[in-house]
Structure 1
Amino acid sequence: MKKYWIAAMTGFLLFSGTVAAQAELQIPAAYIAIGDSLAAGQTPDRQIDAGYADLIAQELSRNQPVAFYSKNLAFPGFTTTDVLESIQSDEAQEVLSSANLITVSAGANDLLRLVQNDSAQGSLVFQQVQVDFALNEARKNMDLILAELAEQSPDATVYVMGYYFAYPHVRENQKNGTAKQLDRLNKILQRSAEKAGAVFVSVDQSFGSNAVDKVPNPADVHPNTAGYQAMANAFFTEYQEGWTVEDFELPPPNPLSFEEIMEAQDQDEQEASESNDAEETAQRPSSDSPTGYFALREAMPYI
């Protein structure tokens, strides 16, 4: 399933901090979004559409030259372990070596997979010992992720995206416990970013604890377009204050199901196979992928 999703993203994605960080615009921007389902743009209905990374790329292109943009290193369900493994793969090296702007979403799946959300009852349950262990693993992995990116993308400014409270629909007396754990995760991400010389992007204040307008599905933690817009604008407060994704700039909905992405990938692979039969061409990186879900191609221009 994973390899189909990643390969299809190249075609799909091209629809249309600190004072110091704001002063160093990357021109032209070579933007890579890595991480979990938020970086991929998963919707509350388990589809894929424009996420915060797409909105960032769109706003960048309105204000400065953009060499290319890719979210091929983002996949729904990725934990920090998965993200670390993905950027260490041979397939990731080429695209990362070309990047000068990177956003990272990693850590939420380490934590939230341990939270049992009973949307019918409006309750949340987790085991503190398990959460403590998971957050410690997330801390260690995030340090390794940022160290790896510093090595593979030495010219890139890295932005570590924080997380919002993902359960606004639960009862008020059920919110505090999980909210504290998300706060702990954000503090871990912020400390890791500061230690590595990266920029932490705080998004929780844009959501608060009652953002049902941004996280509309009680049974799903993913934001809608308004939520992704808030995340993109939180990024721009660190990248270049004053740049904002306005409501009228939001692209029209164009969700794709995982089945549609798989079908598109099947067709793409068939066309590539026919082309290879007709003439000798270089193998696609996905052909010998040890992970089985990467299909990174030549970086495609965003504009």
Structure 2
Amino acid sequence: MVVTLGDSVPAGTACDCTPFPDLYAHRASPGATSINLAEPGFDTTDVQEQLDAGDVRADIRAANVVILMAGANDMAAAFDSGDDYPATARSVRTTVSSIVDTVRREHSGPVEVLVLGYWNVVADGAVGLSTYGPDGLAEARQATRDCNDALRQAAESSGATYLDTSVAFTGDPTGLLAADGDHPNAAGHRAIADLLEKQWPFRPA
């Protein structure tokens, strides 16, 4: 069973399609169950608090794989307000490490935890360029690098595996994004599922 925690990206917001966690689970094993607990608007603290719920912990205990994709909303808030990216990234790192530790403590047996990074923490492609301009889009990419560094460090320190999804969105990502420029479209979700299938060696039963 695959259990997914996170924000609007794994939740499939603005896509009207099957989101990548479900695609991945069903490709890995046709009979695999995918429980997608990701929620639009969630930041890392929201995910941490979500783990207090008894039904969520029960799902975690039954999981073979836990996918975690959170942190974009933390960094997007810093981007919008002009706050310090490194300070926000440190908070993301601490909270994500705590989430992974909680998952491992809650699980009665071995569980694979995969932490996913982002191609951009705000709108990208043609929408991002129109909204922020070249300088603003460059600034957004710096915020994204800080976020991804924090997620990678959190994964390394907690024994999870980090996967950089930006490699699926190289060049102009417009064709992989929904009309809002902020979330993957069906092709984008397939691209992330392809990346998971190619790079993630675990196959859930």
Paired letter, 2:69: S
Correspondence 1:111-190 to 2 at 5 A:
111-116=75-80, 126-129=81-84, 131-153=85-107, 154-165=109-120, 166-169=123-126, 170=129, 171-190=133-152
- Alpha-carbon offset, residue 216 of structure 1: 4.1
1:202–1:234: 8 Å Cα contact kept in structure 2? no
1:88–1:148: 8 Å Cα contact kept in structure 2? no
2:7–2:41: 8 Å Cα contact kept in structure 1? yes
Residue 174 of structure 2 corresponds to residue 212 of structure 1: yes
Where 1:70 maps in the other structure, the secondary structure is strand
- Alpha-carbon offset, residue 201 of structure 1: 1.0
2:115–2:151: 8 Å Cα contact kept in structure 1? yes
CA RMSD of aligned residues (A): 2.2
Give the aligned partner of residue 71 of structure 2: 107
- Alpha-carbon offset, residue 175 of structure 1: 2.1
2:115–2:163: 8 Å Cα contact kept in structure 1? yes
Equivalenced residues, count: 196
Correspondence 1:28-47 to 2 at 5 A:
30-43=1-14
Give the aligned partner of residue 20 of structure 2: 52
The normalised TM-score by structure 2 is 0.86
1:99–1:155: 8 Å Cα contact kept in structure 2? no
- Alpha-carbon offset, residue 40 of structure 1: 1.1
1:35–1:106: 8 Å Cα contact kept in structure 2? yes
The normalised TM-score by structure 1 is 0.60
Where 1:222 maps in the other structure, the secondary structure is coil
CA distance in 1, matches of 2:4, 2:188: 17
Where 2:14 maps in the other structure, the secondary structure is coil
Unmatched tracts of structure 2, length 5 or more: none
Paired letter, 2:54: D
Unmatched tracts of structure 1, length 5 or more: 1-29, 117-125, 244-302
More helix by share: 2
- Seq. identity, %: 24
CA distance in 2, matches of 1:127, 1:57: 38
Cα 1:209–1:133, aligned 2, differ >3 Å: closer, same or farther?
farther
Give the aligned partner of residue 191 of structure 1: 153
Give the aligned partner of residue 35 of structure 2: 70
CA distance in 1, matches of 2:111, 2:136: 40
Runs (4+) off by over 6 Å: none
